[in-house]
Amino acid sequence: MVENCRALATLLPVKPEAVQLSRWQTAAYRLAQACVLLVLFMIAVGAMVTTIRAGDTNPGWSWRFWEWITTWWSSQGGRAYEDGHRVIGTVVGFAGIGLAVAMYKGERGGRRWLGVIALALISLQGLLGGLRVLVVSDENVRETVLSVTGGGYDVELRRAVKAMIHGVTAQVIFASLACIAVVTSPRWHAAWSGQKSPAAGGTRRLALAACALITGQLALGTLVRQTGEHVLLHVFGACTVTLTILWLLLRVFRHHGSFAPLRRLGGALGVMLMFQVFLGITPWMLTAGELVSHDPASPVALMRTAHVTLGALILASASVLALWLHRLVLPANQEERATSTAAGFEYTLGRRLRDLWVLTKARLSALVMVTVASGYLLATRELPNVVHMSVALLGVACVALGVAALNQYLERERDARMERTRDRPVAAGRMAPAHALVFGAVTVLGGSLALLLWVNWLSALLTFATAAIYVGVYTPLKTRTTINTLVGAVPGALPPVIGWAAATGTITLHAFVLFAILYVWQLPHFWSIARLYREDYERGGMKMLSVADRDGRFIAGQIALWCVALIVTSFLPVLVGMAGGMYAGGALALGLAFLAAGLVNLKHQTRATTRGVFFASLLYLPLLLAVLIADVW
């Protein structure tokens, strides 16, 4: 009976004891609260600026921020709202500096950097606001922006997009600061008795989905306010967000209503949702769809401003609710203790982020991005369209991260037998295989679709083919034949071709030259890895060349031989007229240095010399591509 009572007690929340904060922690908490209020005020004034179309009343932009205070003091009408918006933004910037300093001084671990991140976001928002003004009023700025974004100059469309980014960034900053205000509060620092529930996982995921949907709806709403178009899509988004929030609140009150923070946030979110629907419908009905209200004191202008402001509050409330749900509500099968402390929560969150980092093989994916960007830059031979290039890199990055996750899903049993990989999240059992499978499939398909819609079909096809060959051909071959490395080098050599195709929409001889260099480079690179972890691969049942070659003599010879082949292959850009003498000299020097590492390994065949080959390969490729880009440009 006593044991049953103790077990029941771990499932019930207890009122946390008060926690005494240090002087710096208290300052951080107060500054976070001040930043929240200031940013909310800034959003409200910015919404009024958009409503009455006062954004162009002061076309100038000065880094001498104190001038805005003097102009605001003497300005009237829409100019007063625009200058006041800038003054509030300035005050937010100084408050953000104070928050960053206080959190860095008063907190420990990763939490101390939250203030710095908030300050960076606030600074980014200020730069976006200034760019939005200058791109219209300053011809030099406009030409610079056009040179790196490409295309013609559609004033209204570009202003609408910039306003959308500017507005949504402010609302995301507001939600982030609200979360920072929570994690710096005494209530957060207290120890809570958490709840283990079978419904926890679904509720937490639904809360995150609600935050994502609200953010998208806010972005769409900003675009509608700027252009007057896509109203029906905005209405559909409102219905989707409303149903999602209602579903979330139903789960919170049904399964987790014993916690005061969750009850209060859920109740507030429900009330705000009701008023938000009213504020969205009423002005539209009163004005028959007219979005501009020139009188800031009119009921329609005030309701539209309140609609935007309340949207930010809903996003912040949903974000804080998601934060508390992840702190207080735990899945029933989770190993964490029911008692939840701030330090324990942050440790668990940090471990999950590290698991996600390992699952996606982020370092390897970063190297893939370098080769994709190199292919893009070599194809353009000039300052590229930064927006187009960024979309291409983002799409390929999603696919690369997804492929890594799918690979760990397929190899989870073999990974568990190998020393090097047994601590991977899926192999170690910290992540459900189904979660890795879904994450991998969604990111691969999402990245490929993004390339298809916003880059071109050829880059999307090549990227999806790369993923298919890696997951569907190379991964199964690792347990069947020692030639798997030769096959796996094909998807590894395609990224620069993808970059070339993304930039030009075609594949030329120069793209195949890049493919050849990447293909040959991979052989000594991966064989050095295979030699370093020969015993691991043998335990995992991998048919690697290093497993068959027990004394390592043959694979050392192959590494040296392919280093020679790489020197020859690296001269192909010169032979086809792609590069000149500067690249030739750099390629020869880098190739000889790489070959020297291979020859030293061939002579001594130790673990240290093999590791030398591996590190030489990591230096060789980015340096070679850098020299090639410098020569071509």
Query: To the nearest whole percent, how much of the chain has pLDDT over 70?
Result: 86
**Secondary element (H or E) of residue 197:** strand 195-197
Of residues 238 and 540, more confidently modeled: 238
pLDDT, tens digit (0-9, with 9 covering 90-100), for 412-431: 998 888 888 889 999 988 88
CA distances from 130 to 54, 400, 462, 617 (A): 15, 35, 39, 44
- Of the ranges 69-83, 295-309, 576-590, which one carries the lowest mean pLDDT score? 69-83
What tokens appear for 119 in the block? 């300050």
Q: Is 130 exposed, middle or buried (0-12, 13-18, 19+ CB in 10 A)?
A: middle
Instruction: For residue 162, give every residue at least 6 positions away whose Cβ sits within 8 Å of its Cβ, in sequence order, or none.
Output: 128, 131, 132, 135
Q: What is the pTM of this model?
A: 0.81
What does the alpha-carbon distance between residue 440 and residue 35 come to, in Å, rounded to a whole number?
38
pLDDT category at 467 given cuts 50, 70, 90 is: very high
pLDDT, tens digit (0-9, with 9 covering 90-100), for 94-106: 999 999 999 998 8
pLDDT, tens digit (0-9, with 9 covering 90-100), for 129-172: 777 777 666 667 666 666 666 655 455 555 666 677 878 888 99
Cβ(462)–Cβ(506) below 8 Å:
no
pLDDT category at 436 given cuts 50, 70, 90 is: very high
Cβ(200)–Cβ(332) below 8 Å:
yes
Instruction: Please report the pLDDT score of residue 8 as a whole number.
Output: 35
Single-letter residue type at 501 = A
pLDDT category at 466 given cuts 50, 70, 90 is: very high
Instruction: Compute the average pLDDT of residues 171-188.
Output: 91
Count CA within 13 A, CB hemisphere, residue 489: 18
Instruction: Please report the pLDDT score of residue 9 as a whole number.
Output: 37
- For the chain, give the mean pLDDT: 85
Q: What is the DSSP string of 394-426?
A: HHHHHHHHHHHHHHHHHTHHHHHHSTTTTTSTT
User: Strand, helix or coil at 495?
Assistant: helix
CA distances from 306 to 53, 212, 488 (A): 16, 21, 56
Residue recorded with tokens 């192909």: 572
Instruction: Please report the pLDDT score of residue 85 as a whole number.
Output: 80
Cβ(213)–Cβ(240) below 8 Å:
yes
Of residues 4 and 352, more confidently modeled: 352
Instruction: Please report the pLDDT score of residue 12 as a whole number.
Output: 40
- Give 18's DSSP letter: P
What does the alpha-carbon distance between residue 183 and residue 162 come to, in Å, rounded to a whole number?
31
Q: For residue 401, count other CB atoms closer than 10 A to its CB.
A: 23
Is residue 18's pLDDT more than 70? no
Instruction: For residue 456, give every residue at least 6 positions away whose Cβ sits within 8 Å of its Cβ, in sequence order, or none.
Output: 501, 502, 505
pLDDT, tens digit (0-9, with 9 covering 90-100), for 31-61: 999 999 999 999 998 888 877 776 666 666 6
Cβ(445)–Cβ(451) below 8 Å:
no
**Secondary element (H or E) of residue 7:** helix 2-9
Q: What share of the chain is helix, strand, coil (3-state, %, to 5)?
A: 80, 0, 20
Of residues 20 and 487, more confidently modeled: 487
Count CA within 13 A, CB hemisphere, residue 19: 18
CA nearest 43: which of 235, 284, 309?
Answer: 309
Q: How far apart are the first and last CA of the chain?
A: 79
What tokens appear for 276 in the block? 């938000």
CA nearest 184: which of 98, 102, 96?
Answer: 102
User: Strand, helix or coil at 192?
Assistant: strand
What tokens appear for 174 in the block? 């507001």
